[in-house]
Chain A
Amino acid sequence: MQKKVIFRGVALPVALLLPQLVITGIFFFWPAGQAIWSSFLREDAFGLSREFVWFENFADILTDPNYLAVAWNTAIFSAAVAVLAMGVALFLAVQADKAIRGATAYKTLLIWPYAVAPAVAAVLWLFLFHPQIGLFGRALNAAGIAWDYKINGGQAMTLVIIAAAWKQVSYNFIFFLAGLQSIPRNVLEAAAIDGARPTRRFWTIVFPLISPTTFFLLVVNLVYAFFDTFGIIHALTQGGPGLATTTLIYRVYVDGVQNLNFGSSAAQSVILMALVIAMTAVQFRFIERKVHY
């Protein structure tokens, strides 16, 4: 049964909605519209001359082999970050969910990294893995493993994945822990009485019951890896060596801010915008419906 409250007239509901509409308009639709408009233009850095070029910027991007390489990097990077961040978080959450001494302290400590700014996180990892000044970087080289992420694309990618995933573990941990705690104890106890061992209980009861959380986190983590990892990449590798750690969002920055190609950069953001709209739509359509609290 649904109960609907209906306002009389138009003025009051509009007035009530207005602040939200204004904020959405100014901070979302206006810049998004600007980006779409710029993506059809070619202009010089100073904005003194401009040319309307229809879809030329898009055509240039999509036929650039380097853009496709960057898209592939992004896919690998995002998948690896999501899997790593969620896997580690789930493991930690399962451990913290057990009746252990000092559980609260563990939980609190595990949440801390989320409060660290991405650039700062990157600097911390840099101090660990820099081949000359980093603790582990020097140890690896001393052990005979040629560690130098400045000239080894695979190592650079590994490093940014670890740094980016580490940042996100805390966030995932909170959600997984909440999910685990909402599982009814009596179900688990019944399974235990029936003789199911912890591993079996996890895969047959716990994992299916937290699947809505997992799906939600998957989307959040992918969006994070796509859009919020700029600071980490910028501080650690600047997208190098070669283009090994350049992701789509990092390239938007390089083309727009460093190279001052506003048209190309805008076209790339429009592509990303379409991507995130698609991801959000998927989340709403298929995942939100399955969440039952």
Chain B
Amino acid sequence: MRRTILAGAFALGLAGPATAQQQPVEIQFWHGLTQPLGGMLEQIAADFNASQNQYRVVASFRGSYPETMVAAIAAFRAGQAPHIVQMFEVGTGTMMAAGRAVKPVHELLAETGVQIPFDDYLPAVRGYYSLRDGRMMSMPFNSSTAVVFYNKDAFRRAGLDPEAFPQTWQALEQAARRLKAAGVECPMTMAWPTWTQVEQFSAIHNIPLATQGNGFGGLNAELRINNPLMVRHLQNLVDWQREGLFRYGGRDGQGDALFPNGTCAIIFGSSGLRARIQREAQFPWGVAMLPYYDGVAGAPINSIIGGASFWAMNRGPNATRSAEENRGIAQFFAWLARPEVVRKWHVETGFLPVRVSVFRALEAEGFYRQNPGADIPINQLLRGGGQMTENSMGIRLGGFVEIRTIIQEEMERAFQGQQNAQQALDNAVQRGNVVLRNFERQNRQ
């Protein structure tokens, strides 16, 4: 008995100074994912902490994406920024222009000698978060894209083939008419109106959302969404809404609810909606790629991504990080790139497998045969051979949060019949350009 106590004391005596020396470096990590996703993300951080004892990632939830963004910016101004912040894709342009507020991932990796195989990342994911020359600015993590979910029962009732979703808008319009004739109260709806009907729409039709390659080429970009194809599409949506073929479901993710409860037969939404549909829908459903207008040269090509990436931040306007802190951030990013982490996140959440090798491995194992439609988002991102154009690489506009709100507002006014599609998009361009010019002026180097 005494011996064990002595041995214990001896062991403690030895361990004491050792642990004091290796007090783990704390890495503050702010994220904007609600439950259950937030818990899964925090579990990844906990796994990282358990895998080594040099660094401790402290993950904390800071509200929705926009709230997290605002919190991180306010913290930076106060010299208290987190080491890592999860930023939704809309904030990418703002972060890119943030100068010494952020620590670009390529710099971080070069300084710490940590390797991350970005070659293996999906091109659409890599492109969204890198500079034009390919250097990564942030660490991609949870990515999604827009797809179509449709109610197979409703299709059957309307005499449509439930296994073949219409590929073009023209065919889809006919299908919607038949759904309505068959008594479906709401044939089509959408979530994230700007993202699914303007941003994704422009990308897959290979038309510019803004000049300067959607802003990748510089801060002097101007919106181009009042082009004939975009006008035609919005006018169609407005007309279809009047005819009862289409229903506006509200801003941001509000439209999500209309599909799982069976109200609407078709929804354009985030691929991340899959988990909710799986849980709630009481009917057989299918996934399909976004439709395109027949006759548009070169369409369709790949869609773009949504979701969020992780940014390394400096502590404040006049404070940088120690080499040790930077190493911790880089190590954690490398952990996020591990195939098993990428795979688990994809399988459990429905977000994209950001690494191509993970996708191929799952494909070989038959995962997508057991989960039909789970590969549609990835195949859509690789549509057109995965050769992205400057219109389908992503969007790099400053103040894009505000621009999205503006486009939504102008769309809503069109849906209320206060203006037609041309006027709505002209107004959106004019108001959006004011935002872009202000951003350019505030961030002039």
Contacts and interface: CB of A to CB of B under 8 A. Distances in A.
Q: Which 5 A-B pairs have the closest CB atoms?
A: A241-B412, A259-B402, A242-B413, A44-B442, A46-B101
Interface in B352-410: 399, 401-402, 405, 408-410
A45 B415 contact: no
Interface in A229-276: 238, 240-243, 254, 257-261
B70 A260 contact: yes
B367 to A, nearest CB: 34
Nearest to A242: B413
Interface stretch (B103-111, B198-206, B257-265, B279-287): B257-265
Main secondary structure of the interface of B (DSSP, over half): helix
28 contacts: A42-B442, A44-B98, A44-B442, A45-B73, A45-B94, A46-B73, A47-B77, A48-B317, A49-B443, A51-B441, A66-B431, A132-B258, A132-B261, A133-B257, A151-B416, A240-B408, A241-B413, A242-B410, A242-B412, A242-B418, A254-B405, A258-B66, A259-B401, A259-B402, A260-B70, A260-B73, A260-B401, A261-B438
B399 to A, nearest CB: 7
A95 interface: no
Given A45-B94, A150-B248, A260-B94, 17 more contacts: A42-B441, A44-B97, A44-B98, A45-B442, A46-B99, A47-B76, A48-B101, A51-B442, A151-B416, A240-B409, A241-B413, A258-B405, A259-B399, A259-B405, A259-B435, A260-B70, A261-B438
Contacts of A261: 402, 438
Interface string B58-93: 000000001000100100110000000000000000
Q: How large is the interface on B (under 10, 10 to 19, 20 to 34, 35 or more residues)?
A: 35 or more
A238 B409 CA distance: 11
A240 B251 contact: yes
Contact of B442 (A49, A133, A243, A258): A49
Interface in A37-74: 42-49, 51, 66
Interface of B: 66, 70, 73, 76-77, 94, 97-101, 248-251, 254, 257-258, 261, 263, 317, 399, 401-402, 405, 408-410, 412-413, 415-416, 418, 431, 435, 438-439, 441-444
A151 to B, nearest CB: 5
Contacts of A44: 97-98, 439, 442-443
A169 B224 CA distance: 49
Interface in A130-171: 132-133, 150-153
A153 B414 CA distance: 12
Contacts of A150: 248-251, 254
A39 B214 CA distance: 31
Contacts of B412: 151, 240-242
B402 A46 contact: no
Given A48-B101, A49-B443, A153 B409 contact: no
A243 B405 CA distance: 10
B100 A48 contact: yes
A49 B73 contact: no
Nearest to B66: A258
Contact of B76 (A46, A132, A240, A243): A46
A278 to B, nearest CB: 30
A150 to B, nearest CB: 4
B164 to A, nearest CB: 29
A66 B442 CA distance: 22
Contacts of B415: 151, 241
A243 B73 contact: no
B98 A46 contact: yes
B409 A46 contact: no
A45 B438 contact: no
A43 B249 CA distance: 36
A45, A151, A242, A259: most-surrounded residue (chain B CB, <10 A): A45
Contact of B251 (A43, A66, A238): A238
Contacts of B441: 42, 51
Contact of A46 (B77, B251, B408, B438): B77
A241 B416 contact: yes
B76, B249, B250, B402: most-surrounded residue (chain A CB, <10 A): B250
A46, A152, A258: most-surrounded residue (chain B CB, <10 A): A46
A286 B444 CA distance: 51
A153 B416 CA distance: 8
B317 A242 contact: no
B253 to A, nearest CB: 12
A49 B317 contact: no
Contacts of A242: 409-410, 412-413, 416, 418
A66 B405 CA distance: 14
Nearest to A130: B257
B180 to A, nearest CB: 16
A66 B257 CA distance: 31
Contacts of A243: 409
A92 B66 CA distance: 43
Given A48-B101, A261-B438, A132 B66 contact: no
